[in-house]
Structure formats: structure tokens, C-alpha cells
Amino acid sequence: MWRVVKGRIERFCEHYRGPKFHAVLCDPPYAYGFMGKEWDDQTAFRRDVWAAIAKLVHPGGFIMAFGGSRTYHRLAVAMEDSGLIVHPCIGWVNGQGFPKATRIDTQVDKSDARDEKREREYRFTAWMRSTGITAKQIDEATESNMGGHYLTDQSQPAIATADMFDRLRPYLPRPPQWVEQYVEQRTIESKTFAEREVIGQGTSGKTAIWNEQGEMGDFDITAPATDLARAWEGHRYGLQALKPALELVCVAQVPYEGKPVDSITGTGAGAQNIDAARVGIADGHGGGAKATSGFAAGYEHDGFVASSQGRWPPNFALVHNADCVRVGARKVKNKGGVPHPHSRKNCESTFTSLDYTSTEHHFAPDGTETVAAYDCAESCPVAEMGRQSGERQAGYRHNPSTNLTTWFGSTDGSHIEGERGYQDTGTAARFFPNVDYVMERIEWPFRYQAKAARKERDAGLDGVPLKDGEECYGDGLGNGPDRIPRRNRHPTVKPIALCRWLATLLLPPPEYAPRRILVPFAGSGSEMIGALLAGWDEVIGVEMMGEYVDIAKARLAYWEKQAQQGRLL
């Protein structure tokens, strides 16, 4: 069961009178001032908001919240100041972001025109503000997100194009002649920049990187024209000068009441579902080899126990590029599997089991495993980790000692000679969860392949009109502009597979049904979908923007239907 509530999370917490939730999973605003969006505020940096949310959660319950790489610290401090216990964060890496940096050499060579251009832009935005028009009116009239740019008195001011300005005329008084002139001639040519030598051609392509003239498509690569510009060639500046790849998830917890085990077993909240979230189990996570052939030693008070279910989930995940294509499967070598740490000296290498002579295998008679294969885009972090690490066999340890003080002690207090570890082959990416944008494997006559993130984010939105050109922003990861037409207009949609993995970590045993999870700042519903697919019985989302509420409902209905029809891996 799922439900999306329209409204602010503060109001929801104030009026909610239902049963408590077992966990919270959400993607709050990063407060980047994203395109002047109304919802991108500092709500997540207020401790009273997290204190109110915590009151709706069982003692011990976990709260996971996505955080921006530049503002995560403010999110974590607010959560901690509210009385929550902050755990080590979870990092996830994607290869789709692009840097927002300015070339110093081009700015030096454009300095003769830059100051005049910026003066014009601020004069234009000041006049627009004086008319009383709002950013919302501009966005609606132009079907874009340019309202913030046309009204700002801070960063990224812009003069409207002739087409955009024509759409705004019904909302504006008669513009003075200088405004008409600025709209007609938006750019000022730099004489020094015009003298730069063309040394090559570049193509921005579908990554939506603008050329030096502020347009998409092919552009000239030019050499510095002045000595000062040559000195700074290769240098950049800006708040995102490095390619953004890492984002963080803040993991916090409501304090237990009494002893942790009593609190956990009393309500079902306060533990992480380690086995269900191991790397590479049935949901397909894992890179280069199944996690059923991974080293996953879980520490217990009476010794270490390896698991044939998969590697222990780390606080680090890799996300395939949206252009990565799942092309089928491939075979990898696996010589030994999962040796039991207490295997007898004269026994074969055995798998984790209470039966020391277990010979369960997770590979074919020829010693290979069949794993997912991808044709990865060049910028894919999974592929990049594989390129850096190369194919290698995982090690394992043999312990011939019978020293009772070593960590190979058996469960009865004695020590038995044994082996532990895995002998699987693959890249280093297999040690971490690998997720892509393709949660669906539709059983149609043709093979479904992941072409782009738009397929996932737009699924179920056939009745919503496409928006393209300057009307859509965001690559789904909060990394900036994207000119790909899409129906889901939310700019920071998270991968469903990643949300599902996080929701799986939070899932209590079925004995505590109905297991209830709260999703504040629900946006277009990715976290809710992930929780639904992870097996949560009740998923409640809260979202303030009516447009996103409608999109979330349509997406949830679609994915729920796919799950019911058995079309998901």
C-alpha cells in the first residue's frame, strides 16, 4: 500500500496521528538555489524539522537522507542537533555529472567585453523585477525554468531571447527601447577573443555542455591570445570545478529506548537488513562477479562467519552511467567458492553451513559463474574501477595454527585449522553494489536494453506531455542542465535500484508487518518506488509540489503493476 500526501513535511508531522514508522528514506532539497525552484530551500538544515520527523519513528528507527556534496555537512549537523545519532554516511558514485567550471584563459581574453555584458544583464534583470512579474509566471509563460535567471540580482543573470521575451510581453508593461535593444543583441563580441587561433573542433553532444558562445553543438577550440591567458591555460574556477561523481546519504538513528535488542525486537525498528542487502545477491547488484562468490565475513561475539549469500554491504555504491547497456551475461572463473572458516583439515573447501561437509556450489561444473555483462559508457564509474583494478582473483587465508587466541576460534571456544575467503575472479567493482537505471526486464518479443535514464524516469507517464530544449533541467542526479526531452520534470530523480537497495537495508522482518516507511520530500517518487519494490508494506510520501505529486502517483502505479505482473528482476 502506498499513499502520496500533498503538503509540507512540517505540517504533516504536526497533524499526523497514525501509527509510528519503522524507518525514513528521503531526498531533501540540497539548498543549491537550483534554478530558483520554490522547493530548493533550507528546510533540511533545520533541526526542528528532523526532531518532528523523529517523533513519528519508532525508537531505534533509521533515517536515511540524500545530501548534496556541498551542503551535506549542514544536513548532518541539523540531524545530530535534533537528537538523532549520526552513523557513517553512505557514498554513491555516478559518472554522469559534468563540471560547472569557468576557463580562466577564455575569461582573460574576453575581459574587454565581459564587464559590459554583465552590466547589461543586471540592468535587464533589475528592470524585470521592477515590473512585478514573478519567477513562477515566467516559468509558466515560457515553459522553462528561466524565471530565476531573468530576475536574479545575484549569480547567473540572463537576458531573455527574442522568442522568450515575446512570450512574456502580455505580462509586462511596454518595455523601454534599451530593453528591446538588449533582447535583440544579447551578446557583446570581444575583439581580443576574436583573435584567438582555432586549433580544433569540439562537440558538446547529448551531455548538454554549452559551447563558448553559450549554445549547444559543435564549437571551436581556440588557443589563448594574450600572455596572461596563456599562463592560466588549463586552469578552471567555480564551485564545481571537479567532475561531480560522489554524493552522500546521511544515515541517522532515533535513540533506542532501553537495551538495543529489547527495543529492536519490541518494535521491529533499529536494525539493518544486512543479508538482504549483500552485494550481488538475487537483485543483481555486484560488478564483475556475483556476490555469492564474495568474501562477506560477519563479526559475531563468538567468532567470524563467512556467508555464501554475498559480500557484506559496504557504505559505498557504484551507479552505471545512463548510457550503459546491459547486453546479456558473461562467464567468470570461480575456483573454490566460499570456504568454511572451520573446515576440517582433510575436507574439500566447503561453503558456509552449520554442516562442516557442505559442498554447496554457486558455479558450473567448468568452474565458471554466469554474471551480468554491460557495454559501459566511457564515463561509467563501474567500468573505470574495472580499468584501474583489472581482473584479479580474490584471495583467501589458510590458518594452520591451533592458538586459541586467534580469530579463527570455533563456536565452542576451541580452535580448528581452516580457510576463509573467496577465490572468485573479477574487477574491484564487484566488492560494491552496482546499480543501473533499468529495474525492469520486460518480457516482450524483443530484448529490452537500457538506453538512457529517461526510460526509467518517464515510465508510467505516457499521459504527461514531453518537455524539451531549455524546458528541462537536471540529469537525474542534480548535476545540471540536460536538453533531453522528458515527461518527468523533476530535476533530481534518483536511480530506483539505488533507492531499492537502501530501502532493503532498512526493511524489518515480515513478522513486524505492516512494515511502514515514511518518505518526506517525495519529489517524483523514486524513493517510494524503491521502498515498494524492496517489500515495504506501507509507503507514505509527503511532497509539497502538486505537479510532482501527480507524477509520483503515476510512476508508483506503473511500478506496482510491473511488480505484480512479475516483470521485475
Q: Are residues 304 and 358 in the same domain?
A: yes
Instruction: Assess if residue 338 is contained within a domain.
Output: yes
What angle do the packed helices 526-534 and 546-564 form, to 10 degrees?
A: 20
Residues 121 and 215 in one domain: yes
Average pLDDT for 98-111: 88
Q: Is residue 65 part of a domain?
A: yes
Asked if residue 61 and residue 121 are part of one domain, the reply reads no
Mean pLDDT of 553-559: 93
Q: Give domain status of residue 477, yes or no.
A: no
Q: Render pLDDT for 240-265 as a digit per residue (tens, 0 to 9).
A: 888 888 889 999 999 999 999 999 99
User: How many CB atoms neighbour CB 238 within 10 A?
Assistant: 11
Give the span between the Cα atoms of 480 and 363, in whole angstroms. 43
| Cα separation, 567 vs 432, whole angstroms | 25
pLDDT value, residue 310: 73
User: Which has more pLDDT, 40 or 551?
Assistant: 551
Same structural domain, 225 and 299: no
Give yes or no: residues 194 and 299 share one domain. Answer: no
| Same-domain check for residues 47 and 12 | yes
Verify that 11 and 137 share a domain, yes or no.
no
Q: Are residues 224 and 308 in the same domain?
A: no
Confidence of residue 145 (pLDDT cuts 50, 70, 90): confident
For residues 543-548, average pLDDT: 92
In tens, the pLDDT along 486-526 reads: 788 787 888 898 999 999 999 999 999 999 999 999 999 99
Q: Can you tell me the distance from the alpha carbon of 159 to that of 117, in angstroms, rounded to the nearest whole number?
A: 10
Instruction: Tell me the pLDDT of the chain averaged across its residues.
Output: 76
Say yes or no: 198 and 297 in one domain: no
Q: For residue 516, what pLDDT is reported? A: 98
pLDDT given at position 270? 96
Question: Per the structure, how many domains does the chain have?
Answer: 3
Read off the pLDDT band of 483 (50, 70, 90).
low
Question: Which of 384, 414, 432 is the last residue before a domain boundary?
Answer: 432
What share of residues in the chain are helix, strand, coil (percent, to 5)?
Answer: 30, 20, 45
Which of 384, 412, 432 is at the close of a domain?
Answer: 432
Neighbouring residues of 182: CB distance < 8 A, sequence distance ≥ 6? 120, 123, 124, 159
Q: 385 lies in a domain?
A: yes
pLDDT in tens, 403-458: 444 433 344 444 333 434 445 566 666 666 666 655 443 333 222 222 236 778 88
pLDDT at 281 over 60: no
Q: Is residue 499 part of a domain?
A: yes
What local confidence, expressed as pLDDT, does residue 558 receive? 92
CB 269 within 8 A of CB 241: no
Percent of the chain with pLDDT over 70: 68
Which pLDDT band holds residue 288 (cuts at 50, 70, 90)?
Answer: very low
pLDDT classification of 158: cutoffs 50, 70, 90: very high
Give pLDDT, residue 484. 60
In a domain, 50, yes or no: yes
What gap in Å lies between CA 237 and CA 557, rounded to an integer?
44
Helix (H, G, I), strand (E, B) or coil at 142: helix
| Global pTM value | 0.70
- Is 251 strand, coil or helix? strand
The whole-number pLDDT of residue 325 equals 78
User: In sequence order, what DSSP letters do the residues of 88-138 get, joined into one string?
Assistant: PPEEEEES----EEEEHHHHHHTHHHHHHHHHHHHHHHHHHHHTT--HHHH
Q: How do beta strands 418-421 and 396-399 pair?
A: antiparallel
- Containing structural domain, residue 407: 292-313+320-432
Judgement on whether residues 66 and 149 belong to the same structural domain of the protein: no
Q: What is the pLDDT of residue 361?
A: 38
Burial of 418 (0-12, 13-18, 19+ CB in 10 A): buried
Is the domain of 201 the same as that of 265?
no
Tens-place pLDDT, residues 110-139: 988 888 889 999 999 999 999 999 999 999
User: Which one is predicted more confidently, 334 or 380?
Assistant: 380
Tell me whether residue 395 is exposed, middle or buried, using C-beta atoms within 10 angstroms of its C-beta: 0 to 12, 13 to 18, 19 or more. Answer: exposed
pLDDT value of residue 389:
66
Answer whether 241's CB lies under 8 Å from 69's CB.
Answer: no
Amino acid at 244: P
Distance separating alpha carbons of residues 304 and 314, to the nearest angstrom: 17
Q: pLDDT tens digit string along 22-39? A: 999 999 999 887 655 677
C-alpha cell of 99?
563540471
Same domain, 258 and 192: no
Among candidate residues 432, 448, 469, the one where a domain is terminated: 432
The pLDDT value recorded for residue 451 is: 27
CATH value at residue 31 = 3.40.50.150
Whether 9 and 29 have beta carbons less than 8 Å apart is answered as: no
Q: How confident is the model at residue 338 (pLDDT cuts 50, 70, 90)?
A: very low
In a domain, 474, yes or no: no
CA distance 149 to 360: 62
The verdict on residue 262 lying in a domain is yes
